[in-house]
């Protein structure tokens, strides 16, 4: 009897172990394929999922290109205007890149993309205020105060076939959306601009390109609908980096040249890119050097953003694979630019005049001596990009069409003389990413950055990498 019971026990145990083994295989908790002695699965050597602790996810050039296009339609979440209830918003400075535009360069021997630059309210993409915007821009008379360079420019795009660099309807709509978003937050919620506002409450500045003026007007119209032209004074800025009267800076130019040499070195060592250029040049029927000089990514991005087929010739067509290779290299260039620091040193000196203006205006507001509640700079990617770099916001993407960088000055209602700063990029609070507030945020976990830290950064810290204490000396420091 004893041996019979023992046999039945062992049989039941064997059945249980067999059941558990099959269950584990079904749940993929143990391998079902033979494993070699070195522990590597002979049929599954390639690891599909990246290790989140050690590997950076690969950058998708198509996704990044779509983000860059910034096609209107997706509702946007924004963190502008967020603060504890006892804080009061006292001033806002906005730096924008112009909206979507027609290419600045044409690919030789190919047909230009057929894009209509007239404004048609019932054509997508559109905006509820587009028709009213057209009407208001058409009413402009002599009452508008603009520098002479700007006064002769059209207030909105109007060509059936876009001219080179012209703002498109998409670009106008992008900034109508920006303006409406800022109106909802700063005027309707925070009452930043009084109902009886005047010209003294605004400071408006733009470069001498129609696309920046028109972008600024579109944002301003949605921000202050049906504004009185007598209260509008757009100033002309001749420099793309807004350096005004402080543009002579030899060391700035030196570091820009160093970064351009870095850029060239990266390009010539990218064999895949050079082969792509050679293949595209063969399709078009021009020398590779000529194609490269035409900056084809600029034109191809226009095709991509407007869903227009890439150029074709009798030899074939430029394909999405060509586009992906060039865009991927562009993203790699941006990554290396952050690592090598030449661009960062250039950016510190290039953006000091603009950031110094921002600090001075905010200080006057804090002291009760200034009245500029809303400041708008309408600019370019070459304006925003160095500002982001100088501030130390290394994780920021390259400025997309209609990108916006916002500086908010807040007053602490409980401690009446304390002021704080928030910086937002495309609606995301990046204050804690700045070089001057990163440590403060980590140490005190505060929702805002003390304004004094921004002042100290602009007045002193921006010059320390050059062993200088002021802009003049930093710009003329002898290089060894």
Residues catalogued as catalytic: 98, 381
Other CB atoms within 10 Å distance of the CB of residue 269: 9
How many Cα atoms within 13 Å fall on the side-chain side of residue 179? 29
Beta strand 145-146 pairing with 87-97:
unpaired
Contact 406, 94 (CB under 8 A): yes
Alpha-carbon Rg of the chain, whole angstroms? 28
How many Cα atoms within 13 Å fall on the side-chain side of residue 436? 24
From CA 256, how far away is CA 261, in angstroms rounded?
9
From CA 447, how far away is CA 423, in angstroms rounded?
11
Q: Closest by alpha carbon to 112, among 165, 149, 72?
A: 165
Contact 178, 96 (CB under 8 A): yes
- Vertex 242, ends 237 and 246: CA angle to 5°? 105
- Residue-level length of the chain: 480
Q: Is 329 left (phi over 0), alpha (psi -120 to 50) or beta?
A: alpha
Q: Which residues have a Cβ under 8 Å from the Cβ of 189 and sit 6 or more positions away? A: 81
Q: Which residues have a Cβ under 8 Å from the Cβ of 220 and sit 6 or more positions away? A: 179, 204, 227, 232, 376
Furthest C-alpha separation in the chain: 115
Phi/psi for 409 (5° steps) reads -105, 125
Other CB atoms within 10 Å distance of the CB of residue 114: 10
Give the three-class secondary structure for 365. Answer: helix
From CA 402, how far away is CA 68, in angstroms rounded?
9
Partners of 35 in the beta sheet?
A: 41
From CA 447, how far away is CA 200, in angstroms rounded?
31
From CA 480, how far away is CA 471, in angstroms rounded?
19
Q: Is 242 left (phi over 0), alpha (psi -120 to 50) or beta?
A: left
From CA 440, how far away is CA 447, in angstroms rounded?
10
């Amino acid at each position: 009897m004893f041996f019979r019971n023992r046999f039945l026990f062992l049989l039941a145990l064997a059945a249980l172990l067999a059941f558990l083994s099959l269950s584990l295989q079904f749940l993929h908790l143990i391998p079902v394929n033979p494993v070699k002695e070195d522990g590597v699965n002979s049929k599954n050597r390639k690891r599909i999922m990246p290790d989140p602790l050690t590997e950076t996810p690969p950058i998708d050039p198509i996704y990044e290109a779509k983000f860059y296009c910034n096609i209107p339609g997706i509702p946007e979440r924004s963190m502008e205007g967020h603060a504890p209830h006892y804080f009061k918003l006292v001033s806002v400075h906005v730096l924008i890149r112009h909206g979507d535009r027609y290419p600045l360069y044409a690919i030789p021997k190919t047909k230009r993309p057929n894009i209509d630059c007239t404004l048609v309210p019932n054509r997508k993409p559109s905006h509820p205020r587009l028709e009213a915007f057209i009407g208001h821009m058409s009413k402009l008379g002599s009452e508008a105060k603009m520098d002479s360079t700007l006064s002769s420019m059209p207030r909105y795009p109007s060509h059936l076939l876009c001219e080179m660099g012209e703002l498109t309807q998409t670009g106008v709509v992008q900034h109508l959306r920006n303006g409406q978003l800022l109106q909802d937050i700063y005027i309707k919620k925070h009452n930043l601009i009084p109902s009886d506002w005047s010209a003294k409450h605004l400071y408006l500045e733009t470069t001498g390109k129609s696309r920046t003026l028109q972008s600024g007007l579109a944002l301003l119209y949605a921000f202050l609908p049906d504004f009185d032209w007598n209260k509008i004074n757009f100033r002309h800025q001749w420099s793309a980096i807004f350096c005004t009267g402080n543009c002579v800076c030899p060391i700035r130019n030196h570091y820009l040249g160093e970064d351009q040499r870095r850029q060239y070195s990266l390009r010539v060592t990218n064999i895949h890119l050079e082969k792509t250029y050679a293949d595209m040049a063969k399709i078009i029927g021009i020398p590779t050097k000529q194609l490269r000089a035409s900056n084809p990514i600029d034109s191809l991005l226009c095709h991509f953003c407007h869903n227009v087929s890439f150029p074709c010739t009798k030899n074939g067509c430029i394909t999405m694979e060509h586009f992906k290779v060039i865009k991927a290299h562009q993203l790699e260039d941006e990554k290396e630019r952050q690592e090598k620091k030449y661009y960062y040193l250039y950016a510190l000196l290039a953006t000091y005049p603009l950031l110094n203006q921002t600090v001075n205006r905010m200080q006057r507001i804090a002291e009760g001596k200034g009245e500029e509640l809303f400041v708008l700079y309408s600019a370019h990617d070459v304006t925003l990009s160095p500002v982001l770099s100088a501030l130390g916001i290394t994780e920021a993407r390259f400025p997309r069409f209609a990108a916006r960088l916002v500086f908010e000055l807040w007053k602490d209602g409980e401690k009446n003389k304390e002021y704080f700063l928030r910086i937002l990029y495309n609606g995301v609070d990046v204050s804690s990413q700045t070089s001057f507030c990163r440590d403060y945020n980590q140490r005190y976990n505060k929702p805002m950055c003390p304004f004094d830290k921004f002042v100290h950064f602009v007045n002193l810290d921006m010059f320390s990498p050059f062993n200088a204490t002021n802009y003049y000396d930093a710009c003329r420091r002898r290089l060894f």
